[in-house]
Amino acid sequence: MYAVITENDISKWKDSTGVLYHFPKRYEALLESGTNLIYYKGRIKDSIYRPSRLSDAPHYFGVAKIGKVYLDRESNKGDLFATIVDYRPFSVPVDFKDGGNYLEDIPPNLSSNYWRNGVRPISKEIYELIFQLGFDHGDNDFIRSKNLESSNNDNIGTLESYRDGEKKLKFVTTYERNPALRKQAIAIHGLSCRACGFNFGDFYGEYAEGFIHIHHIIPVSELDGPRTIDPETDLVPLCANCHSVVHRQKNRTLSTEELIGLIRAKKGSSENSHT
């Protein structure tokens, strides 16, 4: 399957370029796992967004694929979000017209409102045409996207693929973590601690909203080498206290289940002492 997805500069949807795509249920059939994507932006409406765009005009700016699709836990309308994989920004903007003709085939019955659709199915031929136009004038390698949004205390790295634990030799051996995986893990699992249920935003208010540690179930330092990380199965949110307890002993990392067991055992003994 092939589709164009629209990412507007100003939007109620919580998109993150090359990481997450947030969309209403009516597009679910068009955005299945593995769908090949073309990213699209409409005409610029505020010059403040110019630094994060390739062009002021309506244009296509990258390709990607749908990873997995999940229900939005914060929506009561059935909204969904998809993880994005294999994101590649174009080296040049691809105008939505070529010689006055649209690159997309517009069905006659949709001619009056076609561009209002945030997700639009396209043929393989149109996908390949836009792909070639986006890369023919520049480097065809995976490159860093200037559109990727940086969150507090996160440094955006390359999105060639979601392989975490890339080894680097400096003065000591260190491991990189991919901030895109953090965003995806939070979207999938939420912001409450998996072990104790603590939520920083609920407790401290707006100032701490969005803060949580993301724990690698298999510690990054124990990986033999780079491996593909699935944010659904390999990552869990933990509060700072629980995360510290998990890693308290240098020679052993507690599993999430063991940590939950400790908490339940402590609560049980505390309740029994008051009976």
Instruction: Supply the CATH number for residue 25's domain.
Output: 3.10.590.10
On whether both 131 and 176 belong to a single domain, the answer is no
- Assess if residue 150 is contained within a domain: no
On whether both 9 and 131 belong to a single domain, the answer is yes
Tokens describing residue 129: 């045409």
Query: Could you give the CA distance from residue 161 to residue 166 in angstroms, rounded to a whole number?
Result: 11
Which has the minimum average pLDDT: 27-36, 86-95, 155-164? 155-164
* Inter-residue long-range contacts of 26-29, CB under 8 Å, 24+ positions, other chains counted: 27/118, 27/119, 28/69, 28/80
Query: Could you give the CA distance from residue 236 to residue 190 in angstroms, rounded to a whole number?
Result: 9
Number of domains forming the structure of the chain: 2
Please give the full DSSP string across 98-127, using - where no structure is assigned: ETTEESS---GGGTTTGGG-SEEE--HHHH
Q: Which residue has the tokens 């149109």?
A: 126
Query: Could you give the CA distance from residue 153 to residue 205 in angstroms, rounded to a whole number?
Result: 19
With a pLDDT cut of 90, the percent of the chain lying above it is 60
Predicted pLDDT of residue 66? 95
Per residue in 38-59, pLDDT (tens digit) is 999 999 999 999 999 999 999 9
pTM exceeding the 0.85 threshold for the entire prediction: no
Instruction: Name the CA dihedral angle for 165, 166, 171, 173, rounded to a multiple of 10 degrees.
Output: 40
Per residue in 115-165, pLDDT (tens digit) is 989 999 999 999 999 999 998 654 444 333 433 333 334 332 322 334 555
Dihedral pair phi/psi, residue 261, rounded to 5°: -60, -40
- Decide if pLDDT at 176 tops 80: no
Confidence of residue 194 (pLDDT cuts 50, 70, 90): very high
**Residue-number span of the structural domain to which 128 is assigned:** 2-135
Predicted pLDDT of residue 248? 87
On whether both 41 and 130 belong to a single domain, the answer is yes
Predicted pLDDT of residue 146? 37
First to last CA, the chain: 62
On whether both 7 and 131 belong to a single domain, the answer is yes
On whether both 171 and 257 belong to a single domain, the answer is yes
On whether both 44 and 130 belong to a single domain, the answer is yes
Picking from 135, 152, 178, the residue at the C-terminal end of a domain is 135
Residues in the chain: 275
Per residue in 200-210, pLDDT (tens digit) is 999 999 999 99
DSSP 247: T
- Assess if residue 182 is contained within a domain: yes
- Assess if residue 193 is contained within a domain: yes
